[in-house]
Amino acid sequence: MNSRRRAAPFGILVVLLLVVAGSQSTAVAAPQSNAAHAGQSRSGGPGSNPVLPPSSLPDYMGTASQIIGKLPTGPLLVIKTPHGDVTVRNFYEANPPVVEGGDLAIKITRKYVLTFNTSASSFWLAIKGKPFSAWRVVAEQDFLATLGVSKVDACKLDVTSGVIYTPGDPNDGKSFPLSFCGTGGRRP
């Protein structure tokens, strides 16, 4: 578990998802993976977890190219980890939105947000949908599909998931490793 991070971005994403959940926007910004469709059928059918536009982010600062400048090019990106290099789809190619704190919002849906912290090379799956356990699995599958990585490679990355601030939720304020990586969060 990695509870040291997400102090500021967690609070920002709490506001982000509370505002997004209350909005009436139903715009679809990009096609969704099969994993996302699987989650939709569990939650009441297609359209219940649409991909939302950057304008739905209350703390939107601009696009990655506006904030960071020159972005990595090419279809693939190598992320160096203590457990070995992991090659992922280059999510910078989509010029994702940047929120306060400098995190890239790789994917924004009503039920979860996939983020990348550029300074720590870490990912966070911010879960809003209930039940948490079901949407965590959907977000994890979407994470694998979005990055184009196997479960083994995903376990080498610094990835945590957590529930967005929800008073009374037993998972509130907790961080969880990927469910398929075992109790330590990573496979050797």
pLDDT in tens, 105-146: 999 999 999 999 999 999 999 898 888 889 999 999 999 999
Q: How far apart are the first and last CA of the chain?
A: 16
In a domain, 141, yes or no: yes
For 44-69, what is each residue's pLDDT tens digit? 434 467 788 887 777 788 999 999 99
Please determine, for residue 185, whether its predicted confidence score (pLDDT) is greater than 70: no
In three-state secondary structure terms, 117 is strand
Q: Is 26 left (phi over 0), alpha (psi -120 to 50) or beta?
A: alpha
In a domain, 188, yes or no: no
Residue range 75-91: average pLDDT? 95
Which of 3 and 59 is assigned the larger pLDDT?
A: 59
Please determine, for residue 21, whether its predicted confidence score (pLDDT) is greater than 50: no
Q: What burial class does residue 160 get, using C-beta atoms within 10 Å of its C-beta: 0-12 exposed, 13-18 middle, 19+ buried?
A: buried
Local confidence band at 162 (pLDDT 50, 70, 90 cut-offs): confident
In a domain, 50, yes or no: yes
Q: How far is CA 152 from CA 105, 113, 155, 178, 180, in A?
A: 23, 22, 5, 11, 9
> Please, what is the average pLDDT of the chain?
75
In three-state secondary structure terms, 132 is helix
Local confidence band at 7 (pLDDT 50, 70, 90 cut-offs): very low
Q: How far is CA 158 from CA 79, 131, 133, 139, in A?
A: 10, 24, 20, 15
Residue range 169-183: average pLDDT? 81
How far apart CA 177 and CA 137 sit, in angstroms, is 12
Local confidence band at 34 (pLDDT 50, 70, 90 cut-offs): very low
Residue range 142-161: average pLDDT? 95
In a domain, 18, yes or no: yes
Domain count of the fold of the chain: 1
In a domain, 2, yes or no: no
- pLDDT at residue 183 in the model: 61
- pLDDT at residue 48 in the model: 66
What count of residues does the chain have?
188
Q: Which domain, by its residues, includes 61?
A: 7-181
In a domain, 1, yes or no: no
Please determine, for residue 3, whether its predicted confidence score (pLDDT) is greater than 70: no
The contacts of residue 145 (CB under 8 Å, 6+ apart) are: 33, 34, 35, 36
In a domain, 177, yes or no: yes
Q: What burial class does residue 94 get, using C-beta atoms within 10 Å of its C-beta: 0-12 exposed, 13-18 middle, 19+ buried?
A: middle
In a domain, 17, yes or no: yes
